[in-house]
Amino acid sequence: MHFFDDPHIDFAPQPGQGAPIWCGEAPSGFALRHFAESVRRGGGRIAAIWGTDCRRTGEGFHLHCVFGCDPGHLWVGLDLPADAPHYPDLAELFAAANRMQRTTRDMVGIATEGGDQRPWLRHGGWPAGWYPLRHDAGDPPEFANRPTDYDFVKLGGEGAHEIPVGPIHAGIIEPGHFRFSVVGERVLKLEQRLGYQHKGVERLFGGADLARGAQLVGRVSGDSSCAYAWAYADAVESACGAAPPPRALALRALMLERERVANHLGDLGALGNDAAFAFGLTQFLRLKEDWVRLNAKVFGHRFLFDRIVPGGVAVDVDAAALNAIVEQCAAMEPAVKALRALYDEHAGLQDRFVTTGTIDRDLAQELSLSGMAARATGVLLDGRAHRQGYTPPPPYAALGVRPATDERGDVAARVAVRFDEVFESLRLLRLLAVGMPAGETRVEPAPLPGGRGLGVIEGWRGEVIVGVELDGEGRLARVHPHDPSWQAWLALEFAVLKDIVPDFPLINKSFNLSYSGVDL
């Protein structure tokens, strides 16, 4: 890759992938650090970090880093010793690496040289010296699971005080702790602590077969089931050297766009409700309910769980179902346009939306942000669309996706991008339904012992990444699912600065990030 100037790392395209993914090995921590610096100078971003315990096969540990750049994704591996594995702190270069690194230490015991040493996922549920993802971890040891103190960053100064919110909230939302440092109601700093619903999902993958892995990955974050299932299937297919049929790819895209629309409809309604416009909530939820009911009728599940599988899809659709999708899109478009006109013309909504929760393009790039939140700052980053040096995976390469962007970076911008993405998805759904290719819907991947693969899919929040490694018997040795919320939670901390505490629910909803997606 001439785009970067690291002479130590040789890259080769990963076979079987639609989107460009290059794999390489860094022979030392110095080389990794040098390469990360090259990525940063080239305008790239950190996409994911995780670790693997390879001692079962006589090796040490392995660190995985995925970087994003214009031509695609760069997957770098670093071999580490079995005794006291460590590597250079990358959070000095990419702020979003901080929590990924801390999680890697909590789960695998791979530490950074310097940097933030606070635990992230380990809340006192297991001892500091026990690492759940080591191959010899065994069952969790007897340990008193008591709440632990957390060293929040303190702000001083006259009139400054703290407001703790959560982790238990007045509703059915997932748990998270938000520590506000304020003067009056003006927010000076927000620091989050997540990880309150740890499921041990990464440990559950170990030793599972490919089908079981597909079930698990689709439940990492239920509102993104299609994105996770497709990214996992893509990774497995790459690891096994399998290629899904064209009809299967078109059906996957059909489901992914329906997932995107469903989430945007629900969030647009909730944003109206958070700004005291309950009419918007009732109308958007009515539309969303109609939408997911057709999912159940056509695909057999309201939220499309277990429909996308390695090798293709688990369900086919007939001409009548495709026609129903086209008809629903035709009916949905004017309904959403009418509601957008109400939102745009409602003085109360616009007063709450405009200039609230702002992050700019430079900050979005600094925080390695992807997806809808990044596009709302003017960053043209969409894994479904062509960009310089990048060709999207099929079937998107032939659809001519038009990314929705806005340069304001505030709640109003994120609302506008959501509306635009709904309309674009409706257009894509009609194209997919009308142009659905004939043929098979699935091939059976043959597990390849020792294979590995990486899948990257543009979910409705942003890049969903899944890394897969197979053991010597072709079963799952290691699976790491990565949600775009890892980066976006950090962006939320910046978005609330200089706003007031009562605006936080609205700003938070404009991102609507996943708690479970970062609690593995």
Q: Is the pLDDT of residue 9 over 60?
A: no
> So what's the pLDDT on residue 1?
33
Domain residue ranges of the chain, discontinuous segments joined by +? 12-113
CA distance 264 to 510: 10
Q: How confident is the model at residue 21 (pLDDT cuts 50, 70, 90)?
A: low
Q: How confident is the model at residue 234 (pLDDT cuts 50, 70, 90)?
A: very high
pLDDT in tens, 152-172: 998 888 888 999 998 988 777
What is the average per-residue pLDDT within 362-372? 97
The CATH code of the domain at 12-113 is 3.30.460.80
Q: How confident is the model at residue 372 (pLDDT cuts 50, 70, 90)?
A: very high
Judged on CB neighbours under 10 Å (0-12, 13-18, 19+), 83 is: exposed
Q: Is the pLDDT of residue 7 over 50?
A: no
Q: How confident is the model at residue 12 (pLDDT cuts 50, 70, 90)?
A: low
Average pLDDT, the chain: 93
Judged on CB neighbours under 10 Å (0-12, 13-18, 19+), 25 is: middle
> So what's the pLDDT on residue 29?
81
Query: Which range is least confidently modeled, 2-11, 371-380, 409-418, 437-446?
Result: 2-11
> So what's the pLDDT on residue 156?
81
pLDDT in tens, 199-226: 899 999 999 999 999 999 999 999 999 9
Token couple for 403: 């990314």
> So what's the pLDDT on residue 143?
79
Query: Which range is least confidently modeled, 17-21, 92-96, 282-286, 323-327?
Result: 17-21
> So what's the pLDDT on residue 142?
83
Q: Is the pLDDT of residue 2 over 50?
A: no
Query: Which range is least confidently modeled, 194-203, 342-351, 434-443?
Result: 194-203
Q: Is the pLDDT of residue 236 over 50?
A: yes
What is the average per-residue pLDDT within 339-368? 97
Q: At what angle do helices 278-299 and 246-274 cross, to 10 degrees?
A: 160
What is the average per-residue pLDDT within 403-417? 97
Q: Which of 387, 420, 415 is nearest to 404 (CA)?
A: 420
> So what's the pLDDT on residue 18?
53
21-26 and 72-80: which strand pairing?
A: parallel
Percent of the chain residues topping a pLDDT of 70: 95
> So what's the pLDDT on residue 221?
95
Q: Which of 36, 10, 38 is nearest to 25 (CA)?
A: 10
Query: Which range is least confidently modeled, 67-71, 233-237, 255-259?
Result: 67-71
To the nearest 10°, the Cα dihedral for 123, 126, 129, 131? -90
Task: Tell me the three state secondary structure of residue 191.
Answer: strand
Q: How confident is the model at residue 4 (pLDDT cuts 50, 70, 90)?
A: very low
CA distance 333 to 342: 15
What is the average per-residue pLDDT within 110-128? 91
> What's this model's pTM, rounded to 2 decimal places?
0.95
What is the average per-residue pLDDT within 506-518? 96
Q: How confident is the model at residue 3 (pLDDT cuts 50, 70, 90)?
A: very low
- The amino acid occupying position 154 is K
Count of CB atoms situated within 10 Å of the CB of 338? 10
